[in-house]
Amino acid sequence: MREKMLEEEGGENGAVAVDPRLKAISESIRVVPHFPKPGIMFNDITTLLLHPGVFKDAVDIFVDRYRHMTISAVAGIEARGFIFGPAIALAIGAKFIPLRKPKKLPGEVISEKYVLEYGTDCLEMHVGAVQPEERVIVIDDLVATGGTLCAAIRLLERAGAEVVECACLIGLPKFKGYCRLNGKPVYVLVESRQ
């Protein structure tokens, strides 16, 4: 895995400054071949969590990016978006909205199905979790096909929210740097080695 992005315009020629924290973030993510299925190079962020300084750096990078964007809600995708989302939400003074796998949320929900690298799944959100025109960011650990983030965007937009950006620690190679899904920007910190 090599560090990527955090491209900042600098100087007259728009030189790219790479954030020195990204190297440690990249190196602390373990890649496990053939998990959960043959052929999948699984990016395991639990090894990053064992390094509190690196964990904090990852959260801080997102907090620095979003703290002045008038974001009122951070939507985290189950399960690994729940690890980073609440810390970011608290730091920027936003609420946290859990987007959960089916049949986990009590009460009234809306649902969106999606296709994964290794199967199909569905995300649900509580009705009333977000109000029309609220500015929201979506957080997850990784973007692979983008199917999960697209389902999250659809859920939030059905409720009338404005999805400002999606943010992930890791992008699989086709998600080099800054890209878009459903017309929304996706911000990734590092690229997977796979």
Ligand X SMILES: Nc1ncnc2[nH]cnc12
Q: Write out the residues near ligand PRP by the rule CB under 6 A.
A: 77-80, 116-117, 121, 140-148
The listed partner (ligand PRP, ligand X, none) that binds 146, CB under 5 to 8 Å by sort, is: ligand PRP
Under the binding rule (CB under 6 A), the answer on residue 40 touching ligand X is: yes
Nearer to ligand X, 73 or 149 (CB): 149
Under the binding rule (CB under 6 A), the answer on residue 121 touching ligand X is: no
Instruction: Indicate which single residue of 58, 138, 142, 149 sits in contact with ligand X (rule: CB under 6 A).
Output: 142
Under the binding rule (CB under 6 A), the answer on residue 90 touching ligand X is: no
Nearer to ligand X, 73 or 77 (CB): 77
Under the binding rule (CB under 6 A), the answer on residue 41 touching ligand X is: yes
Residue type present at position 23: K
* Cβ-closest position to ligand X: 144
Q: Which residues are catalytic?
A: 80, 117
Which positions lie near ligand X, rule CB under 6 A?
Answer: 40-43, 117, 142, 144
